[in-house]
Amino acid sequence: MSAENTTRTQVGIVGAGPAGLVLGQLLHLQGVESVILEARDRDYVEGRVRAGVLEQGTVDLLVEMGVGERLQREGLVHHGVELRFGGRGHRIPFDELTDGRGITIYGQQEVVKDLIAARLEAGAPLLFEVEDVMPEGIDSDQPSLRYRHDGQERELRCDVIAGCDGFHGVCRPAVPDGVLTAREHIYPFGWLGILAEVEPSSDELIYCHHDRGFALHSMRSPQLTRLYLQCEPDEDIANWPDERIWEELQIRFECEGWSLKEGPIVEKGVTPMRSFVAEPMQHGRLLLAGDAVHIVPATGAKGLNLAVADVRVMAEALVKWFSTGDETLLQSYSETCLGRVWAAQHFAWWMTTMFHRHPSDEDGFMARLQRAQLDYVCSSRAAATTLAENYVGLKKVSGG
Ligand SMILES: Cc1cc2nc3c(=O)[nH]c(=O)nc-3n(C[C@H](O)[C@H](O)[C@H](O)COP(=O)(O)OP(=O)(O)OC[C@H]3O[C@@H](n4cnc5c(N)ncnc54)[C@H](O)[C@@H]3O)c2cc1C
């Protein structure tokens, strides 16, 4: 590799999703150099509509990092959530149950736009449309990332590689066989999600349990409603013309004195439900974060928040190492993160199991258990607090 095609940095970050961008910004603020390599182009990354529920801790961190100005102006702060079952709504007041904490609705693509703008304004390197990224030398103290950019083969030498490249990225597979243990749970259903140009029908999210399956009312802005319906994991979206989607949503959300507003559907898609964790989250000089190493079903709204929580731990560990040579935090990175990861996995699994119709539940046994659990959550302060404190994000997790 010629000298002009070889560069050096302290941290080579693969992926400009929430994990990679938050990490880059945290490191930049502490004077640690990094280069972010992203496979897609900027428009694609900034237009990718995914998560939208930010935990209190995520919002606080983004504000502290100096990227929260638009979030605070445009984000919708929610102090509670509605659980709807048996045709009746029950509100869980987050603020009362968690000392004033709440969630903020602000699209993942908006978080990503704000972070990219901050990175480019700081003049920190972020390369889009990078091809064939390959982590090398992760077992040595001189790892590197080989990649192609603008038709040129290049090499980025670094002290450590941060694999923030999502579930289908190249970093997790770069770990030698036998090092990682992967645990996975595939749910026998998926979510059919739509984005509709219509004012939300409620000020807060509605999680709905119904004999025909789960439904969720959410929003992205005062003009955009996000709605989900439980469906088959391999559901063919072609079987769901807009009229059928609205008809089914109206049935599942039916509640006296409330109506679901309809509008043009501008986006629709099917997402399977999966839980996945690979551990440890590090090997040699490679540290993995976010979807690159764990996936949660969207029911608990934890995916983006967990990605941010991982890189917060990673940034602190790297800053300590670069500034003092002390490796303690770096060595315990995986162990520190996994406490929160498994707590979030449990919460997402619990919410998923409590709300979704189970295909094998022929005599309705599971449905009766779900109703008993929902009644308990809505009538016991202790049970409601469990849901509320997990939903807004646990402050401290054992090991985390
Ligand atoms: C369709 C969908 C809907 C979702 N909905 C929700 C939701 O409603 N609520 C919720 O909480 N979570 C949701 N999630 C999960 C949430 O979006 C993720 O947890 C979050 O994006 C994780 O951030 P990340 O940075 O770890 O990974 P990602 O956002 O996946 O970012 C990884 C980045 O790496 C890049 N990349 C991949 N491979 C390479 C490579 N080889 N070289 C360079 N770059 C590479 C990708 O292009 C991407 O930009 C959803 C996910 C999906 C896929």
pLDDT tens profile 84-134: 999 999 999 999 999 999 999 999 999 999 999 999 999 999 999 999 999
CA pair distance 159, 107, nearest whole angstrom: 33
Phi, psi (5° rounding) for residue 390?
Answer: -70, -40
What is the model's pLDDT at position 399? 53
Residue 377 CA, chain-centre distance (Å), reads 25
Question: Tokens representing 253?
Answer: 């959300």
Which residue has its alpha carbon closest to ligand 1 atom 14?
A: 51
CA pair distance 53, 392, nearest whole angstrom: 9
Phi, psi (5° rounding) for residue 178?
Answer: 90, -10
Residue 132 Cα: closest atom of ligand 1 = 41
- 39 ligand 1 Cβ < 6 A: yes
What is the model's pLDDT at position 314? 98
- 169 ligand 1 Cβ < 6 A: yes
What is the model's pLDDT at position 293? 98
Residues of the chain with pLDDT under 70: 398-400
CA pair distance 372, 354, nearest whole angstrom: 10
Which residue has its alpha carbon closest to ligand 1 atom 21?
A: 304
Which residue has its alpha carbon closest to ligand 1 atom 53?
A: 50
Contact (Cβ atoms closer than 8 angstroms) between residue 183 and residue 57? no
Place of tokens 């979510």: 191
- 205 ligand 1 Cβ < 6 A: no
HSE-CB at 322 with a 13 A cutoff on CA atoms is 19
Most ligand 1 atoms within 8 A of CB, residue of 104, 129, 304, 390 to mutate: 304
Residues 6+ apart with CB under 8 A from 377: 83, 92, 354, 383, 384, 386, 387
- 298 ligand 1 Cβ < 6 A: yes
- 299 ligand 1 Cβ < 6 A: no
What is the model's pLDDT at position 397? 75
What is the model's pLDDT at position 244? 98
- 14 ligand 1 Cβ < 6 A: yes
With a threshold of 0.85, does the pTM exceed it? yes
* CA distance readout (Å), 5 to 91, 132, 146: 58, 15, 10
Contact (Cβ atoms closer than 8 angstroms) between residue 104 and residue 76? yes
- 302 ligand 1 Cβ < 6 A: yes
Which candidate, 348, 353, 352, places its Cα nearest to that of 394?
348
Q: What radius of gyration do the chain's Cα atoms show?
A: 22
Contact (Cβ atoms closer than 8 angstroms) between residue 215 and residue 208? yes
- 157 ligand 1 Cβ < 6 A: no
* CA distance readout (Å), 123 to 14, 25, 27, 126: 18, 11, 13, 9
